Amino acid sequence: TIAKDALRAQPKAELHVHIEGTLEPEMVFELAEKNGIVLDYPDAGTLRQAYNFQDLQSFLNIYYQGVKVLIEADDFFELTYNYLRHAHEDGVVHTEIFFDPQSHTDRGISLAAVFEGINRALAKGQKEFGITSRLIPCFLRHLSAEAAMETLHALLPYRDFFCAVGLDSSEKGNPPSKFSEVFDKARAEGLLTVAHAGEEGPASYIWEALDLLHVARIDHGVGCESDDELCRRLAAEQMPLTVCPLSNIKLAVFDDIKGHNLKRLLDRGLCMTVSSDDPAYFGGYLLDNFIAVQTGLDLTWDEVTELARNSIRASFLSESEKLEWL
Ligand code: ADE
Ligand code: ZN
């Protein structure tokens, strides 16, 4: 096995992390107490024991409960700063952070508070750790296309603070095609696009993300394996997949790490990257995910460095910024 320190020392970009998914149980309780919110669990240990998921939806039900303790800009600051500290310790040099605006605005929290808190942490993280960041607000696909369009309009005054939009939440039954108009509008505004596709959903959702949403990356995308033509296209276009191994195990996309298709897809020439998704819920930050796939799939040093370098290449940094890490 490859030493943890060697994996840590590889410059890595984290391209798939939901900031609300970095909310550790201890912080849930700390913020609940501060904000006068009553929780369904007596303490952080008990809450953590409830992190036993059957599938994506059973996770999302708990994740949206946790989000409710985030009220003030300072809460978003603390959450984001805490994540950046973890990321820095794992050798992450750049991060592209998802957040779910509708999970906050639907509770009466202003986008101003969300952006203010997160941006303050990103600035501090850059100053203190040298870590660069981009933000990617995601539309909740279990809600309507109209709600997503309203959210896009509400986001536009903050256009300078994010580089792309994404699509997340309950995948099955909510195909990318549902959001083609919203994504057309986002691209017309000069935004890049990404989408969760092929996490639990079928390969056809990946085709739709490519052809209808014109995404620059596919989030997860592991469902491509059943479709040879799709795999050939993803490889030919070097379309990055942001794969989250520990997430996939916790949400039962694969039975165990040995059955994960990351290496098989890498062997087929796809542009694979590794991310942590919702590290507070899935049992590990980015370095833990690298260790899990390196040991579980017997990855060589060359394969591990390819994953790390792919993350830099697939990032939304400028070409000159990428060169610093490649
Ligand atoms: N929101 C937070 N984590 C998610 C995931 N893994 N899939 C879809 N939506 C999410
Ligand atoms: Zn995700």
- Reported as a pLDDT band with limits 50, 70 and 90, residue 214 is very high
The predicted pLDDT at position 157 comes to 98
**Which residue has the CA at smallest separation from atom 4 of ligand 1?**
169
Ligand nearest to the CA of 55: 1
pLDDT score for 1: 82
Task: Tell me the two tokens of residue 211.
Answer: 């052809």
Cα 133 to Cα 14, 43, 104, 161, 286: the distances in Å are 9, 33, 21, 10, 15
Per-residue confidence (pLDDT) for residue 52, from 0 to 100 = 95
What's the pLDDT at 293? Answer: 98
Portion of the chain with pLDDT greater than 90, in percent: 99
Token digits of residue 310: 């792919």
Distance from residue 246's CA to the centre of ligand 1 (Å): 13
Arithmetic mean of pLDDT, 28-32: 98
Report how far apart, in Å, the C-alpha atoms of 256 and of each of 245, 288, 299 are.
Answer: 10, 15, 16
Decide: pTM greater than 0.95: yes
- For residues 123-127, average pLDDT: 98
What is the chain's mean pLDDT, rounded?
A: 98
Q: Which ligand has the nearest atom to the CA of 168?
A: 1
Separation CA 73–CA 30 (nearest Å)? 15
20 carries an active-site annotation: no
List pLDDT tens digits, range 48-101.
999 999 999 999 999 999 999 999 999 999 999 999 999 999 999 999 999 999
Which residues are paired to 185 by β-bridges? none
Strands (E), the chain: 12-18, 92-99, 132-140, 164-168, 192-197, 217-220, 241-243, 272-274
Distance from Cα 247 to the centre of ligand 2, integer Å: 8
Encoded tokens for 127: 């100053």
The CATH fold assigned to 17-24+74-315 is TIM Barrel (3.20.20)
Task: Give 264's contacts (C-beta < 8 A, 6+ positions apart).
Answer: 225
- DSSP-derived 3-state class of residue 18: strand
Domain spans, the chain: 17-24+74-315
CB 137 within 8 A of CB 155: yes
Of residues 298, 299, 294, 324, the one with CA closest to residue 309: 324
* CA 160 from centroid of its chain's CA atoms: 20
Q: What is the mean pLDDT of residues 5-17?
A: 98
Active site residue: 96, 199, 200, 208, which one? Answer: 199
Closest CA to 116 of 65, 75, 57, 173: 75
pLDDT in tens, 221-263: 999 999 999 999 999 999 999 999 999 999 999 999 999 999 9
